[in-house]
Structure 1
Amino acid sequence: MKKLRFKLYKPVAIITLAAGILGLNACTKNFEQYNTDNTGLTEGELKPDFNNIGGFFPQIQSSIYFNFNNTTADFQLQQNLMGDVYSGYMMPPNNFRGNINNMTYSLVDGWNASAFNLAYNNVMAPIYEIKRRGAQTIAPEFWAIALILKVEAMHRVTDIYGPIPYSSYGTGGTTSAYDSQQDVYTRFFKELDTAVTTLNDYVTAHPGISLFSKFDMLYGGDYKQWVKFANSLRLRLAIRISGVSPAKAQAEAEKALNPTSGGVMEIPKDNANVSGFGLKNPLFTIVTSWTDNAMNASMESFLVGYKDPRLPKYFDHATAYPGTYKGIRIGSLVTAKPDYNGYSVPAYVETKTFKATTPLQLMTAAEVWFLRAEAALNGWSNAGGTPGELYEKGMRASFTQWDVDLAAVNNYVVDNAAKPIDYVDPRNAANNHAAMTSTTVKWDDAADPKTKLERIITQKWIAIYPEGQEAWSEFRRTGYPKLFPVVNNYSNNTINTDIQIRRIPFPSTEYTSNKAEVLKAIQLLGPGAVDNGGQRLWWDIPH
């Protein structure tokens, strides 16, 4: 079995512990086997100030939107060549594998296993070790944060594949039982219950005290901010299941928004951003050093069409077409570099939005305002305003986050004329496509519910850039925003071009080492389910 190396951080020294607890091919094997710490320090010597537990958190936090140890290639596979593309945010100007790749729906197993393996190896494994070391008893506030991070990381995994090993994780043995996505979500909500209750109780009993601050890459040890993150995450997950389980969704959303719960994100200061410990933003490397990233045609259609003032914060002008912003449509038969390198890329030259030190964004206050707008649209309690009021607050929070002149947002929110534009590829007319919608920005209380939802989700999509995984999940859930379909579909008829890709198949390594459980997992996807990219997830119901 392949052995893993955890990074255990101390305030002064960095200590590496080798722990053989998880193989790449089966995610719950051999938990009882641990190697000796080659630093010579015992677990007891690391206990002061909970270093023996807290030292695992930098790895966990930097492995969600993966760039642990700044291994940018892992992030590229986990996120950039999957969620970032399928969300309509980005498209690489690189003809990987001769265009027989994820962008043309010829799904590459060696790429798509990354999100599965990285999450179990770099998040679930160290969290299990934290639990083994007694965090629940000796440092319950640390354990509460571990639970929040666990939910944040693993909801991304289940929203990629569907059923995942979760409740049985860490029980040992030679197989890894999968839970249905519904059961996984149920556990998410329970774990957030534990986390929020624990942190609120701790803050009441120990005001102003935080031993977690030196390990915290999000909030500097501010437990009240962690509660806001947990509540906001609960709201996100509640909205996610609103189509398939409306009663449960409403109950969880109202709990998240209950004024006594500790609050949700409301201002950019509340945003969940990961930084510190030498972490670098992988998009910066992918764009500047590798030239493997560019604007997606769908982003061009909406942002240019809406004359969105955030556009220069998001992307640089196309160098091949001065004075314009130009994206690449998903599934284009991109020719070898550097032929498409002159298209717009995430902004690192003109506004220098993306730097090596730019924090990694997990969740924002702007997203939460849009979630609240949808909750209000559903008629749920505690939303805090009308759908239109909350929708506008979402846009204002986004403009503030991106440091855009608020005078610009005053004009933007009342614009009832600007619409998404047609896409024209100056290199290849075969990639051209008419705009997918004529929806405008200005809220209209008289509009039908579908139009209202389209406005909310479209503006949320713009606001949560560059977090493509979440944007892809919301597109699948709602059908919004209306993204350009793939130009060339090489899925062998397993993915409908118009419906677009719905999930990623289970890794082939799981078939090799855990076949019986994977076959059961496919059945958990639903009656007659097949393990391909066209199969819908539990919460992904036709709209």
Structure 2
Amino acid sequence: MKKHIKTTVLALLSVLTLNSCDNEKLLDLNVNKNASTDIDQRYLLSLGMLQVAGDRYESWRTNLIYSSTMIQHNATLAGYWSGDKYYYNAQYSGAFWEANYPGSIKTLTQVVDQTKGKPESANTFAAASIMRSFVLHRMTDIYGDIPYTQAGRGLVGAENWFPKYDAQKDVYTMLVADIKTARDAFSPSARALGDQDVLYKGDYDKWRKFANSLLMRIALRMSNVDAATAKTVFTEAASKGGIDSNASNAFMKQVLGTGGGINYNGTSLALSNAAGGGGDNNARVSKTLVDFMDKYNDPRKMIIIGGLGNPYDKSTWVTDPAKQRGLPNGYTATTIKNVYPDFTTLDNFSFINTNITDLDDPTPLLSYAETELMLAEAALKGWVADDATIHFRKGVEGAIRSWAAYGVEVPSDAVITKYINDLGFAAAGSERKLELIGEQYWIATYLNHIEAWANWRRTGYPKLTPTNDPANVTGGTIPRRLRYYEDEVGSNPASYKEAIARQGEDLLTTRVWWDVKK
């Protein structure tokens, strides 16, 4: 009997072993032994960089609908442009979060994690780290406390499936550390980035300058809440050299082609009627901005403005600079008649120049003009032993000349010089100098409306008059942040609740850590 049982068991084990082998062979059939098991992370880097520049979805909602109108670069009568009248639209408010956490942040985090500690991939690691830091800096300035440490690492382990929100103060500390590490990691002996670097084509000096200018931006942003740290970060970055000419601008190059999508300029896609944008419902140039340019006889007026008329029908255009009229913020097609009783059409207000919104126009991330204006402010603060007037002049001139990248005619040297002289920076008092810097930073970041909004919240310049539509949700004040992507309430509830308990209610009026300017 025992012999029979033993024989049966051995037979059963034999069958199971054979079945196991057969199963393994069957599974092996699904494996392509000739396929690569490791992707070249430089290709993912290219994707992540273009994702940072933005597609139409988040560019339209975050950069245009909310930021451009809150900062009074643009204005609109359309109700769905929520920022113009301080409405809350959940989809639009959360769009930047919704697009970038599963998009650019996940992509770039993958590249960073796969190349970290590999000398041959040092350049890929460095570029990916800087771009990851750039988009997460923008994310925290829009929302406040955000997932940073665990962001984009959901596939690494279950511990990251419900990422914690890091306090913005800690995010800033990590940003500085990560950018410095990346900046100092570029190496000529590592694998070249080549054409996969769609920003600088493997020019590592330009990457270092971009990193230093980004550090300067971060330092100034925290200057009202941690001046000592801000000064240390700024002076270290400035000593190493930021973006020093328009040739080194961090302007993401966009291209035309069959690919579409993120190959195109996302803001231009939103403004293009032919590409499925908002068409006639889109914004016009704000009266605030037009009046500002008229006050100082700004030579950028007919660079930013295309004319009066239908922007999609050239036969209707009126391009006489003297006849341009900005659209006031905060009105609907009904209430605008309280200001202009004869109102009949938006064509009577100046539209955005279509020459600066081509689908292959660059997407601005950070510029030489911004860098020089930041240095001017730092000089006023005593952080750098430089002449603030020289930096101011370079910043304004750089901002005007930067429009050459959009294929438009730049004013002559004489016109630019006269404009700068007439601003009277050198003879102005200290506070007026800060105001002039803030105003010029504001106009220098037209098209980069998210950055203009962030810098305005920090400085209070330019001095803007809020709108007060009856349906606004802010009590007639310009929003200080956007509300979190609503999906977070249900999908990551513990982390979401912890963040708002620390930061404050999830409202458009709640201020982020560094926003203390009254």
- Would you say 1:500 and 2:501 are equivalent positions? no
CA contact (8 A) 2:129 2:182 kept: yes
Show CA shifts across 1:55-74 (max 9, x none). Answer: 1122211222312xxxx233
Q: What is the aligned counterpart of 1:409 among 391, 411, 416? A: 416
Partner of 1:361, secondary structure, is: strand
Matches within 5 A, 1:325-364: 325-334=324-333, 339-348=345-354, 352-364=355-367
Taking the aligned partners of 1:514 and 1:461, their CA distance within structure 2 comes to: 36
Identity %: 24
Q: Could you tell me which residue of structure 2 aligns to residue 295 of structure 1?
A: 285
Report the AA paired with residue 340 of structure 1.
L
Larger radius of gyration: 2
- Would you say 1:63 and 2:51 are equivalent positions? yes
Taking the aligned partners of 2:491 and 2:70, their CA distance within structure 1 comes to: 29
Gaps of 5+ in 1: 1-36, 47-51, 416-440
Show CA shifts across 1:231-275 (max 9, x none). Answer: 0000011011111110000000001111xx2x2112110100112
So what's the TM-score if we normalise by structure 1?
Answer: 0.78
- Would you say 1:183 and 2:178 are equivalent positions? no
Show CA shifts across 1:179-203 (max 9, x none). Answer: 110000100000011011112xx14
Q: What is the aligned counterpart of 2:71 among 74, 77, 87? A: 87
Taking the aligned partners of 1:282 and 1:293, their CA distance within structure 2 comes to: 16
Q: What is the aligned counterpart of 1:197 among 167, 181, 184? A: 184
Q: Could you tell me which residue of structure 2 aligns to residue 126 of structure 1?
A: 107
Q: What is the aligned counterpart of 2:378 among 370, 375, 380? A: 375
CA contact (8 A) 2:304 2:353 kept: yes
Partner of 2:251, secondary structure, is: strand
Deviation at 1:345, TM superposition (A): 2.0
Matches within 5 A, 1:72-151: 72-96=56-80, 101-137=82-118, 138-151=120-133
CA contact (8 A) 2:77 2:332 kept: no
Taking the aligned partners of 1:271 and 1:134, their CA distance within structure 2 comes to: 26
- Check 1:136–1:465 CA distance in 2 against 1; reply closer, same or farther (3 A cut): farther
Report the AA paired with residue 162 of structure 1.
G
Please identify which structure carries the higher helix content: 2
Q: Could you tell me which residue of structure 2 aligns to residue 27 of structure 1?
A: none
- Check 1:40–1:530 CA distance in 2 against 1; reply closer, same or farther (3 A cut): farther
Deviation at 1:541, TM superposition (A): 0.4
Taking the aligned partners of 1:273 and 1:183, their CA distance within structure 2 comes to: 28
Q: Could you tell me which residue of structure 1 aligns to residue 339 of structure 2?
A: none
Show CA shifts across 1:124-154 (max 9, x none). Answer: 1112222443454141211111111011111
Taking the aligned partners of 1:287 and 1:508, their CA distance within structure 2 comes to: 26
Q: Could you tell me which residue of structure 2 aligns to residue 249 of structure 1?
A: 230
Report the AA paired with residue 411 of structure 1.
K
Taking the aligned partners of 1:151 and 1:524, their CA distance within structure 2 comes to: 23
Matches within 5 A, 1:228-307: 228-258=209-239, 261=240, 263-276=241-254, 278=256, 279-289=263-273, 290-291=278-279, 292-307=282-297
CA contact (8 A) 1:286 1:293 kept: no
Show CA shifts across 1:383-426 (max 9, x none). Answer: xx2112211111111222223211111111121xxxxxxxxxxx
Partner of 2:180, secondary structure, is: helix
Q: Could you tell me which residue of structure 2 aligns to residue 542 of structure 1?
A: 517
Q: Could you tell me which residue of structure 2 aligns to residue 425 of structure 1?
A: none
- Would you say 1:154 and 2:136 are equivalent positions? yes
Partner of 1:316, secondary structure, is: strand
Taking the aligned partners of 2:184 and 2:57, their CA distance within structure 1 comes to: 38
| Backbone CA RMSD of aligned residues | 2.5
- Check 1:507–1:414 CA distance in 2 against 1; reply closer, same or farther (3 A cut): same
- Would you say 1:172 and 2:196 are equivalent positions? no
Q: What is the aligned counterpart of 1:163 among 140, 145, 155? A: 145
CA contact (8 A) 2:62 2:450 kept: no
CA contact (8 A) 2:130 2:182 kept: yes
Q: Could you tell me which residue of structure 1 aligns to residue 508 of structure 2?
A: 533
Q: Could you tell me which residue of structure 1 aligns to residue 406 of structure 2?
A: none
- Check 1:119–1:282 CA distance in 2 against 1; reply closer, same or farther (3 A cut): closer
Taking the aligned partners of 1:256 and 1:353, their CA distance within structure 2 comes to: 31
